[in-house]
Amino acid sequence: MLTVNDIKNDKEVIAIMKKSAEQIEALGFTEHSVRHSSIVSKRSGEILRLIGKSEERVHLAEIAGYLHDIGNCVCREAHAQSGAMLAYQILTRMGMSYPDACDVMMAIGNHDEKFGLPVSDVSAALIIADKSDVHKSRVRKNITGAELSAEQNIHDRVNVAAEKSYITVDPNEREILLTVEIDISVCPVMDYFQIYFSRMKLCQTAAAFLEYKFGLMINGARLL
Ligand SMILES: [Fe+2]
Ligand SMILES: [Fe+2]
């Protein structure tokens, strides 16, 4: 069975990840490199493991998490769809079975809040893991010199303010909880909502797909 370490060491994946990070940096978006992919990979797998899914599903979630943003090497727009097709080709070339590669493809193709919806356990875990990675280390300088859009600016402010964000899973309460700590001297909690409202809604839908509730705690206050 292919593991995420096989994927991480593949020359084609290494090249694509490097080019994706370069393109995202050129556009001035928040960091989408190996750091983000590794965190999302680990969290996706942990979510499925903690809710009692098989190791096969955990491995697929780890792989989907690691590859989910590789479409950024094509274009930021529709990166979920382009990345899904790239991942399918890479994984079948590496010997993954067609059904498993399809599972990874559809999880990646559905991870973005613009068009995506949870369509499987792997997909639901990937959505929650991806949307939970908010951190100041993700803010990048725009090297093209182009003006940042209002949306990019607020994204940066929210990320700069985010001291911590992590997921915990409580199988007894059947709840997946996202805990965020924000420095409110940098950005008000309202800014977090302005940016993340649609993402939190998608996380709720994803948790419901897993038959769990989704909880949100910001600076010790329960918001969901
Ligand atoms: Fe993405
Ligand atoms: Fe992502």
| Per-domain boundaries in the chain | 4-162
Ligand nearest to the CA of 112: 1
pLDDT surpasses 80 at 85: yes
Q: Please answer whether residues 69 and 131 qualify as being in contact, where contact means their C-beta atoms are separated by less than 8 angstroms.
A: no
Name the CATH superfamily for 4-162.
Hypothetical protein af1432 (1.10.3210.10)
Average pLDDT of the chain, as a whole number:
91
Distance from the CA of 134 to the center of ligand 1, in angstroms? Answer: 13
Task: Tell me, yes or no, if the pTM score tops 0.75.
Answer: yes
> Could you say which ligand is closest to the alpha carbon of residue 126?
2
Q: Does residue 170 surpass a pLDDT of 60?
A: yes
Q: How confident is the model at residue 143 (pLDDT cuts 50, 70, 90)?
A: very low
pLDDT in tens, 86-142: 999 999 999 999 999 999 999 999 999 889 999 999 999 999 999 999 877 666 655
Report the pLDDT value the prediction gives residue 144, as an integer from 0 to 100. Answer: 52
Per-residue HEC secondary structure of the chain comes to: CCCHHHHHCCHHHHHHHHHHHHHHHHHCCCCCCHHHHHHHHHHHHHHHHHCCCCHHHHHHHHHHHHHCCHHHHCCCCCHHHHHHHHHHHHHHHCCCCHHHHHHHHHHHHCCCCCCCCCCCHHHHHHHHHHHCCCCHHHCCCCCCCCCCCHHHHHHHHHHHHEEEEEEEEECCCCEEEEEEEECCCCCCHHHHHHHHHHHHHHHHHHHHHCCCEEEEEECCEECC
Looking at the CA of 36, name the nearest ligand.
2
- Quote the ligand 1 centre to 131 CA distance (angstroms): 9
What is the whole-number distance in angstroms between the Cα of residue 143 and the centre of ligand 2?
Answer: 21
- Dihedral angle computed from the Cα positions of residues 86, 87, 93 and 99, in that order, rounded to the nearest 10 degrees: -120
User: 130 CA distance to ligand 2 centroid (A)?
Assistant: 5
Ligand closest to CA 30: 2
**Gap from CA of 219 to ligand 1 centroid (Å):** 26
